[in-house]
Chains A and B, each alone.
Chain A
Amino acid sequence: MGFVSVILGFCGFGVGISTGMVLGYYLFIHFQPCDVKDPVIRPLVEQDSQSLLRLLPEIPLWVKNPDYDRIDWLNKFLEVMWPYLDKAICKTAKNIATPIIAEQIPKYKIESVEFESLTLGSLPPTFQGMKVYLTEEKELIMEPSLKWAGNPNVTIALRAFGLKATVQVVDLQVFAQPRITLKPLVPSFPCFAKILVSLMEKPHVDFGLKLAGADLMSIPGLYQFVQELIKDQVANMYLWPKTLEVEILDPTKAMKKPVGILHVKVLRALKLRKKDLLGASDPYVKLKLTETKAPSKKTTVKHKNLNPEWNEEFSMVVKDPQTQALELHVYDWEQIGKHEKMGMNVVPLKELPPDEPKTLTLDLLKTMDPNDVQNDKMRGQIVVELTYKPFKEEDLPKEIENSSAVQKAPEGTPPGGGVLVVTVHEAQDVEGKHHTNPYVRIIFRGEERKTKQIKKNRDPRWAEEFTFMLEEPPLKDKLHVEVLSTSTRIGLLHPKETLGYVDISLADVVSNKRINEKFHLIDSKNGRIQIELQWQTS
C-alpha cells in the first residue's frame, strides 16, 4: 500500500508541479509589464553613500589612469545625436531584416515574424576614456574604452499554427575595449587606407531575453553559460591579435605606386608657324605627364626649321592611366628673353591601347578650350609615337602589408649575401650654432651617401632610402649616420657644421631583419633621428 501511495504521490507531484507552474506563471509573470521604461536618473550629487559605493567599480579609466584622456565632449555629442542614430539604425535594420525574414519563413511553416517594437532605448553608448600609442611605424593606434549599458527593446512576434509567441530582448549591456589601428598612412584624404579593429579583452555582455514574458536569462546558471558562450564566440573572431579589417581606400592607388611606363617617341612636326621676325623659328618640344611632380622632358632645339625631325625617345612613369594625360608643348627657343609658345596638345592615357605602339598626328592648339576662337588658326601638326606598357601583375608589389614587412632581395643578389636598405625618415631638435640647414650623410664600409638638404628646419623630414648590396651579412660592421649643415650664404666663417652623429651596430639588423627606431644623436643637445634598417636576403 505504502509503495502504491508513494507512486501515486510522485504522479500527483508531477501533475501538481505543472499545474502549479502554469498557475504561478499566470499569477506572477504573465501580468508583468513588458514595456521598457526610461530609468530614473538622479544627479550624482544627490546620491547616498550606498549607491556611490556601487559606482566605484565603474569609475571611468580617465579618472583612474593619467594616460587615458577624457572624451566627455564625444559623449555629449553622442548623447544629442543618439535619438537620431537610434531611429536611423532601427530603420536600416528593419529594412535589411524584412526581406530576409520573408524569404526564410515558408521553410519553417511559420505564418509571420514581425517586429513588435524595435528601439535602442534612450541611453547612448559612452566612452570612458581614450588612450593613444605612438610608434615609429606609419600607423595610428587608439584604444577607447567603450561601455554601452542601454535600455533597448526589441520584441519579435512569431505566429505559427494559430499561436503567438513573443521574444523580447531588453537591457543589453556591452562593455568592450577595442583597439583601433589606422594604417598605413597615405598622402591622400582621409590619410589612412585601412581601419583595423580588435578587442584587447573579452567583452562583457549582459542582457535579458524574455520568452512570453519570462526572462530566460534569470534562470540560475543559464546566464553564465550563455555569457561565456558569447564571449568565447566573439573572442574567437576578434580578440587580439585577430582583427576586423575595413578597407577605406585602395592602398595601391592611395600610395600612388607606379603601374606602368609610357614610351614617347617625338618624330617630327609639320608646318609650324613662323614666330621669329628674322628667319624661321627654333622649335623644341616639352613633354609632361599631368599629376606628377617630375620635371618635364625636353627635346633638342632644331634651329631655323619649321618642319623639324627629332626622332627622340623618352620614357615616363605612369601612376594612374585613367586620369593622367600627356601634355605636349611646342616652344620657340630664343637666345634672349622668354621662349614663345607655338602650340600644344594633350593625350589622355586612357585612349592608348596597352603594349601597342600608336602613332598620332596631333593639331597644335593655342589652348585646350574647344570654344577658343584662336584655335581656328593653323599652327601646324606634331607626330608622336606612344606606347603604354603596364607592369605585369607579378611585377607589382602584391599587398600593402609587405611594404612594411621585409621584402625579398632583388634577383642577382649573391647567395649568403643580401641587401641592406637604410631609410632616413626624420630628425627632431637638431640645431646648429650658426645655421640649421640639415642633411644626412651615411657612411658604410667607406661608401658615402647623402640626403638632400632641408633649409632652416629643426625638425627635418627626408624619407630617403639607400641600398647597399653585400656579399655576406654585415655582422661586425657599423653604420655611421651624421647630420650636417652647410651655410646657404657663401660665408667663409662657418661653412659647415656637424649637428650630431650616431653609430649603429648592424648585427641586430641581421638577426631582426628590420629595425625602425629613433636614435639619440651624439654631440647634440637633444637631437634624435629616426632610421629604418632592413636586411633583405634572397
Chain B
Amino acid sequence: MGLISGMVMGMLFGIALMAGWKYMMQHRGTKRVAKAVDIKLLSSLNREDMKKICGENLPEWISFPVFEQVKWLNKQLAKLWPFIADAAEAVIKESVEPLLEEYRPPGITSLKFSKLSLGTVAPKIEGIRVQSLKEGQITMDIDLRWGGDPSIILAVEAALVASIPIQLKDLKVFTVVRAIFQLADEIPCISAVVVALLAEPKPRIDYTLKAVGGSLTAIPGISDMIDDTVNTIVTDMLQWPHRIVVPIGGIPVDTSELELKPVGKLTVTVIRANELKNMELIGKSDPYVVVHIRPLFKVKTKVIENNLNPVWNQTFDLIAEDKETQSLILEVFDQDIGQDKRLGIAKLPLIELEAEKSKEFDLRLLPSLDMLKIKDKKDRGTLTIQVLYHEFNKEEQLAALEEEKRILEERKKLKEAGPHCRFWGWYGRYSVIGAGVGLVGTGLGAGVGIVGSGLGAVGSGLSKAGKFMGRTITGHSSSSKRSGSSTPVNPQENGGAKPL
C-alpha cells in the first residue's frame, strides 16, 4: 500500500514540479521578451510617444528637430580641434603641396603654402539625420557650419614678378554633408562611403582673398571670376549628385554602382530668344547662349550680332547623370569687349522631361538662379528650346563614359601644350582657388572622420567589437586624406575646360 501510494504521490509531485518549471520558464521568457520589446520601443521616440508616456509632465528641454542635435559631439569636437587642426595641417601640406606642384600652370615657377593654419574655431555640427533610403545603405546627413578663422597663405612665384603671397581668410562653410555608407557582410560592415554636399540647401562657401602687400582689386573682374570658378568646382565636384567615393579598406567590393554614371542623353535645340534686354550703349546686344548640365561640359551657340530677337536653331547633345536632381542650365550672354555680360539665365529640371518625347519649352530668363539675389522684377525676355531626352542602355552608357574620359584626356593634353586661350592669364588664380577648395574638402573629410571616430569610440563600448571599430577609425581618417587630395586635381581641368 505504502509503496504504491508513495509512487503515486511521487509521480504526481514530479509531474507537478515539471509543470511548475515550465510555468516559470514561460513566465521568465515572456518577461524577458517584454523587456526587449520595451527597450526597442524606447530606442527611437517621437513627440507622440513622449506625450503618451509622460502625459502632462513632458520635460521642457526635449525637442524633436528633423536634424537631431549633437551637443556632446560638438563639445568633444571643440576640445579635440587644436589636435585635429595640427594633424590636418600636416596632412594637407603633405598631400596638397605635391599636387600643387604637379598641376602648377606654366608661367608660375613655384606654388607653395607659406602658412597654413586652420585656426582656433572648431566646426560645429548643427544636427545629424540618419535615413535608410535604399536597401543596404545608410544615408547620414550632417548639417555642418564652420565660421572659422583659418589663415592660409599661398606663395605664388611667377617668372617675371617676384613672389605674390595670396591670403585666404574668413572662410565660412555652411553646408549639409551627405555620407552614404554601403553596408557589407564582413567586418567592419561598411564597404564604401560616398561623400557629397547636398544641393538643397545650396552649400555656402564664403571667404576673403587678399594679396599680402598688394591688392587683388587692382585687376577688375577677378573677384567675380574667382567666385565663378569656386562655384563651378563645388557644383561639379562635390555637390550632389557628384560625389566622392571612398572604399573602406579590407573588403574588395565593386564600387562602380556608387559612382556617378551617364544615364541618358539630352538633345537640346536652342531655337530662339525673344525681347532680350539691350545692354549696349550703341546698337543692340550680341547674344549667344551657353548650355550645360555639368559645368565641366559647357557648349555655346554662335553669336548673333545686333539682335534682341535672335534665332539660333542650333542642336547640342548633353549627358545627364542623375535625372532626379540635375537641371539643364541655359545662360544668355552679350558678347562685348572685355567681359561678356549676362542677359539672363534659365533652368529646366530634368525630372520634368519624359523619355523619348520631344517637347518645346518657353523659358523665362531670370537675372540669377539664386532667388535671394534677384532685386528687380524687370522682364528679361524668353528663350525657346526643344528638348529630347533619351535614356541609355548598357552599351550606350559605356560608350558615353569612354567618350567623357577621352574628352577630359584631350583637354589635359591641350593644357599641357601651352597657353593659348585668353583665360590662361587667370590660370594661376584658378589653381589657388582650387587649392582653397581642396582645403575645404579636406576639412569636410576631417569632419566626417571625426564623426566616424566618434562612432568608433562609442562602438568600443561593445568591448571586442571596439577593436574592429578602432580599425575603422583609421579608415575614416585616411578617407579624409583622400578626399582632400582628390579634390584639387579636377579644378585644374575645370579651369582649362571653360570654352568661353
Contacts and interface: CB of A to CB of B under 8 A. Distances in A.
Interface string B27-39: 1110011111111
A69 B70 contact: yes
A87 B185 contact: yes
B129 interface: yes
B290 interface: no
Contacts of B76: 132, 140, 142
Interface string B4-28: 1111111111111111011011011
List the 9 closest pairs (A to B, CB-CB), nearest first.
Answer: A20-B14, A16-B10, A24-B18, A12-B6, A187-B86, A5-B2, A126-B43, A9-B6, A189-B477
Interface string A183-220: 00111111110010100000000101000001101111
Given A197-B461, A197-B466, A215-B25, A16 B185 contact: no
Interface in A164-180: 170-171, 173, 176, 178, 180
Contact of A219 (B21, B40, B43, B187): B21
B19 A28 contact: yes
A92 B464 CA distance: 12
Nearest to A20: B14
A16 B21 contact: no
Contact of B10 (A17, A75, A92): A17
Interface of A: 4-25, 27-29, 32, 39-41, 43-45, 47, 52, 54-56, 58-60, 62-64, 66, 69-77, 79-81, 84-85, 87-89, 91-92, 123-128, 130-132, 134, 140, 142, 144, 146-151, 170-171, 173, 176, 178, 180, 182, 185-192, 195, 197, 206, 208, 214-215, 217-220, 223, 244, 246, 248, 457, 459-461
The DSSP consensus for interface residues of chain B is: helix
Contact of A187 (B14, B83, B140, B186): B83
- Of B24, B79, B184, the most chain A CB neighbours within 10 A belong to B79
B461 to A, nearest CB: 5
A464 B28 CA distance: 62
25 contacts: A9-B6, A16-B14, A20-B10, A20-B16, A28-B22, A44-B48, A56-B53, A63-B53, A63-B59, A71-B72, A76-B131, A88-B184, A88-B185, A130-B458, A134-B75, A149-B40, A180-B460, A180-B461, A186-B87, A191-B80, A197-B466, A206-B32, A215-B25, A218-B27, A246-B466
Given A12-B6, A17-B13, A197-B466, A208 B18 contact: no
Contacts of B474: 189-190, 248
B138 interface: yes
A220 B7 CA distance: 26
Nearest to A223: B28
Interface in B450-498: 450, 453, 455-458, 460-463, 465-467, 470, 473-474, 476-478, 480
Interface in B71-94: 71-72, 75-76, 79-80, 82-84, 86-88, 90-91
A256 to B, nearest CB: 10
A496 to B, nearest CB: 24
Nearest to B188: A88
A121 to B, nearest CB: 9
Nearest to B63: A70
Count class of interface residues, chain B: 35 or more
A45 B52 contact: yes
A316 to B, nearest CB: 19
B32 A208 contact: yes
Nearest to A147: B39
B67 to A, nearest CB: 9
B11 A20 contact: yes
Contacts of A10: 6
Contacts of B337: none
Contacts of B27: 218
Given A142-B458, A180-B460, A218-B28, A185 B83 contact: yes
B333 to A, nearest CB: 42
B457 A142 contact: yes
A187 B87 contact: yes
A12 B44 CA distance: 58
Contacts of B12: 16, 20
A191 B4 CA distance: 79
A13 B53 contact: no
A508 B463 CA distance: 39
Contact of B187 (A24, A88, A128, A246): A88
Contacts of A150: 36
A10 to B, nearest CB: 6
B128 interface: yes
Given A12-B5, A88-B189, A182-B457, A58 B69 contact: no
Given A10-B6, A246-B466, 7 more contacts: A12-B2, A60-B42, A66-B61, A89-B465, A124-B43, A146-B461, A187-B83
Given A10-B6, A12-B2, A185-B80, A171 B36 contact: yes
Contacts of A147: 39
A366 B382 CA distance: 61
Nearest to B481: A189
Contacts of A123: 36, 39-40
Contacts of A66: 59, 61
Contact of B185 (A73, A91, A459): A91
Contact of B79 (A4, A134, A170): A134
Contacts of A18: 10, 14
A188 B473 CA distance: 12
A80 B476 CA distance: 20
A246 B86 contact: no
A80 B132 contact: yes
Nearest to B128: A73
B38 A459 contact: no
Contacts of A185: 79-80, 83
B42 A126 contact: yes
B363 interface: no
B14 A21 contact: yes
B120 interface: yes
B417 interface: no
A512 B168 CA distance: 46
Nearest to B136: A84
Interface string B348-391: 00000000000000000000000000000000000000000000
B443 to A, nearest CB: 13
Given A88-B185, A214-B21, A246 B476 contact: no
A180 B453 CA distance: 13
Contact of B7 (A15, A140, A457): A15
B3 interface: yes
A17 B14 contact: yes
A77 B6 contact: no
B130 A77 contact: yes
Contacts of B11: 16-17, 19-20, 23
A16 B13 contact: yes
Interface string B316-327: 000000000000
Contact of A77 (B21, B22, B138): B138
A464 to B, nearest CB: 14
Contact of B5 (A9, A17, A79, A80): A9
A92 B468 CA distance: 11
B104 to A, nearest CB: 14
Contact of B38 (A58, A190, A219): A58
A56 B9 CA distance: 45
B87 A54 contact: no
B15 A24 contact: yes
A223 B130 CA distance: 39
B54 A219 contact: no
B453 A191 contact: yes
Given A17-B13, A144-B458, A144-B461, A126 B3 contact: no
Scoring B3, B9, B24, B52 by chain A CB atoms within 10 A of each residue's CB, the highest score goes to: B3
A149 B43 CA distance: 11
Contacts of A124: 43
Contact of B42 (A8, A58, A146, A197): A58
A44 B52 contact: yes
